[in-house]
Each structure stands twice: as C-alpha cells, then as structure tokens.
Amino acid sequence: MKKNFDFYILLSVICLLLIGTLNIFSQTQIQYKDYPIRKQIFIKHLILILISIASGIVFYFLNLEKIIKSYFIPISIMMLILLLLPIIFRKSVEINGSYRWITFKYFSIQPSEISKLYLILTFSSWFSKKKDSQYSFKNDLLFPLIIATIILFLIFIQKDLSTSFLIGVFLIVTFIIIGVPTITIIYFLLLTLSIFIILIFSEQYRINRIIAFLIPKANISSLSFQNFQALRFIGLGGLFGKGLGWTMSNGEYLPLSFSDFAFASIVCEFGIVGGIFILFCYIIILVRGYIICHDTSNQFDFLLASFSISMLLIQVFINASVALNLIPPTGVTLPFVSYGGSSLIVSMIMISILLKIRVKTKTRFEIYGSG
C-alpha cells in the first residue's frame, strides 16, 4: 500500500496550500489593524484547511462506487435540495448580486461547488456501465445531459455563471474522455457556446464585464480596474517578486487578491519564479493523475480519476486565464491557493480520490512481474 501511495501529488498539494496560506496571510494580516475583518479571513482559512483534510480522509476510506450506485436517488434528492435552498432564501444569502450560498452563523456552503463532485461521481457511475465505445444519444448520453441541465439551470438562477461555465467546459471534456464521436462533440460545443452567449447578453452586468474586458481603457468601472490591476501586479513582480506583504505595506490594492486574483498577487510578491512554481505543482498533479488513469483497469476508477483531474485543471486554466486577462473575470477559484471553503473541501476530496485509486491500483510493472 505504502509503495503505491502517490507522494508526488500529496507534496504538490501541500506546496500549493502553503503558498495560498502565505498569500492569504499577506493580504489579510499585514497592517490588518486598518482592516480588522480581514484577520478573521485568515483564521477561517486555517480552519477550512483542517476541515478539508478531514473531509479528504473520510472520502479516502469510502467505497464511492458502491455508495453512488446504491444511494443515487437519495444523494440526487439531497443535491437538488441544496441547490434550491439559496434560490428559496435568496434575500438572506445575496452576496455581490449572486445567490450561491447557504449561510449559517459562522460559515457558509456553496452548493454549486458540491455539484461538481456530484457530477463527477454520477458520470463515473453511469458511463462505467458502458461495455463498448458506440454511444447512442438516447440510451447513453440523454440521462447524464438531463442531470447536468437541471444542475446548470439551478446554478444559473443563482446568478453563478462562472460555475455554469466551468461545468459546461467539463461536459465537453467528459465527452472527449469517454470517446464520444468528434462530430457530436462539435455540435454540443456550438450549442453550449450559443447558450452562453445568449445568457451573457441577457444581463447588463455581464455585458459590462465583456466591455471592460475588450476595451479596458474605455471603461473605468471596477470591472476594468480589476483586469488592469491584475496585469499590473503580475508585471510589478519581476523575476523574484516584491516580497511578502508588499502590496498592503505600499498602499497598493488588488480586488479579491486572496480569492479570484490570488495568482496575480502571488506573482507580484513571489515573482515569475513563484508563478512558475505554482504551475509546476499543477503539472505534477496532471502527470501523476494521467499515470493513475493509465494504470487502473477498473472502468469506474478510470473515469473517476479522469473526471477529478479534469475538473481541477479546468479551474486552474480558467483562473490563470483571468489573471492574465485572456478571458473576462469569472469568479472561479484557484484550487488549494484561493480562499474559499466549499471549493477547497471539494478540491481536497478530488485529490483524496486520486490517492485512493493509486493505492488500489498495481502498476503495470507489478502486474507483469507477478505473472
């Protein structure tokens, strides 16, 4: 068991957590007397790390294949209720115009983050039943698309377009992984893009984001300010960065520097070297995840590992693209680095899933050697 445990993935996650924690400390603790509420953010982040580790350990010892197949209906009902609660009690959970959270006294839950894990488990269970590579829309694709559409609709009502976009990309990647014909993927991609374009232009604030992204100099709103500052901070960092706490101590301001734009603030304080190191950690997770997928002979485990690694890396790509001003701001967090409880817990569970599958799976060398 110990021989198969993937310490490379574990070490990469630890490094990302440390860098993210340092960034949150820098953005919330240095000169925090002027921003007393920010001190609480850092303490909450430390608590959330412990909760995410505990959640990962619990999922490590669960038989997820048996659970999702035996209790799919009650799990789906629970997921539906969780997604409906922010909509039903929207007045009490509105934050920045969105209704994504179920709020309690000391913490909040973002059901749309949990829905990512639900889709990974559901798709893994559904497609693992497939015995051949010929996919019928009615028999093979319709049911998971109905599930995904319901979830996307509820998330969209919460005005969480960023998670909707993330799940839309994940659906396309899912079709690629399971081997759906290219022409079907192209049709679905065009349909998805058409829907998102319609949704974007259905609300003025989304149109403003596009304008701020395309013509930043002509738009002096807070949206274009975010884009401008993120790029500026990355440029200021240089090779080795300005040092921990530089942004706060020099009166600089980057909106959401410990969440949505964490990558930009890290590059500013730790330099291009720090940014490359973060990307290197994600590359290690990707490569080791690919090896895990390649070595497992269990179809459910293969899909579970493939979907988990895909979901994580789609998030990385979207968040880094926003920081580099390649796409408009989305609100998608950087796994293990950005502040965000639900996202951190779900991401840690995905890593736990990868580690568990690795331990269960003998490498090809061991299989051949045993014969």
Which of 116-130, 196-210, 264-278 shows the highest mean pLDDT?
116-130
Mean pLDDT within 280-306: 93
Q: Does 17 have pLDDT greater than 80? A: yes
Question: The domain containing residue 291 runs over which residues?
Answer: 2-370
Q: Which residues pair with 94 in a beta bridge?
A: none
Give the Cα separation of 3 and 168 in Å (integer): 37
Note the pLDDT of residue 369. 42
Of 66, 57, 4, 112, nearest in space to 301 by CA: 66
Q: Does 312 have pLDDT greater than 90? A: yes
Mean pLDDT within 290-310: 93
In the block, residue with structure tokens 């997604």: 83
**Where does the chain show beta strands of DSSP type E?**
102-103, 108-109
How many helices (H) and strands (E) would you count in the chain? 16, 2
Our count of domains for the chain comes to 1
Dihedral sign for Cα 280, 282, 285, 290, please.
negative
Note the pLDDT of residue 28. 76
Q: Which two tokens stand for residue 202?
A: 């259905």
Note the pLDDT of residue 216. 61
Note the pLDDT of residue 367. 44
Q: Does 110 have pLDDT greater than 50? A: yes
Please tell me the least confidently modeled range out of 2-16, 24-38, 175-189, 329-343: 24-38
Give the Cα separation of 326 and 228 in Å (integer): 12
pLDDT band at 47 (very low <50, low <70, confident <90, very high): very high
Please tell me the least confidently modeled range out of 238-242, 282-286, 292-296, 339-343: 238-242
Of 95, 208, 164, nearest in space to 314 by CA: 164
Of 240, 325, 332, 233, nearest in space to 277 by CA: 240
Q: Provide the pairing of β-strand 102-103 with 108-109.
A: antiparallel
pLDDT band at 365 (very low <50, low <70, confident <90, very high): very low
For the chain, the helix, strand and coil percentages under 3-state DSSP, each to the nearest 5: 75, 0, 25
Give the Cα separation of 133 and 113 in Å (integer): 30
pLDDT band at 305 (very low <50, low <70, confident <90, very high): very high
Q: Does 139 have pLDDT greater than 70? A: yes
Note the pLDDT of residue 201. 75
Which has the higher per-residue pLDDT, 164 or 131?
A: 164
Question: Contact, 339 vs 40, CB < 8 A?
Answer: no
Give the Cα separation of 46 and 102 in Å (integer): 21
Of 319, 318, 311, nearest in space to 260 by CA: 319
pLDDT band at 37 (very low <50, low <70, confident <90, very high): low
pLDDT digits (tens, 9 = 90+) for 197-245: 887 777 766 676 676 666 666 554 555 666 677 777 778 778 887 877 6
Note the pLDDT of residue 82. 92
Of 158, 178, 177, 155, nearest in space to 166 by CA: 155
pLDDT band at 86 (very low <50, low <70, confident <90, very high): confident
- Give ∠ CA 260-170-254 in degrees, rounded to 5: 10
pLDDT band at 87 (very low <50, low <70, confident <90, very high): confident
Q: Which residues pair with 103 in a beta bridge?
A: 108
Report long-range pairs for 122-126 (Cβ below 8 Å, ≥24 apart). 122/68, 122/72, 122/76, 122/147, 123/174, 123/303, 123/307, 124/65, 124/68, 124/300, 124/303, 124/304, 124/307, 125/65, 125/68, 125/69, 125/72, 125/300
Q: Which two tokens stand for residue 18?
A: 């440390």
Taking residue 352's Cβ as centre, other Cβ atoms within 10 Å add up to 22
- Give ∠ CA 200-206-207 in degrees, rounded to 5: 85
Give the Cα separation of 101 and 171 in Å (integer): 23
Taking residue 314's Cβ as centre, other Cβ atoms within 10 Å add up to 20
Please tell me the least confidently modeled range out of 47-51, 114-118, 129-133: 129-133
Note the pLDDT of residue 213. 67
Q: What residues contact 50, with CB distance under 8 A and at least 6 apart?
A: none
Which has the higher per-residue pLDDT, 262 or 69?
A: 69
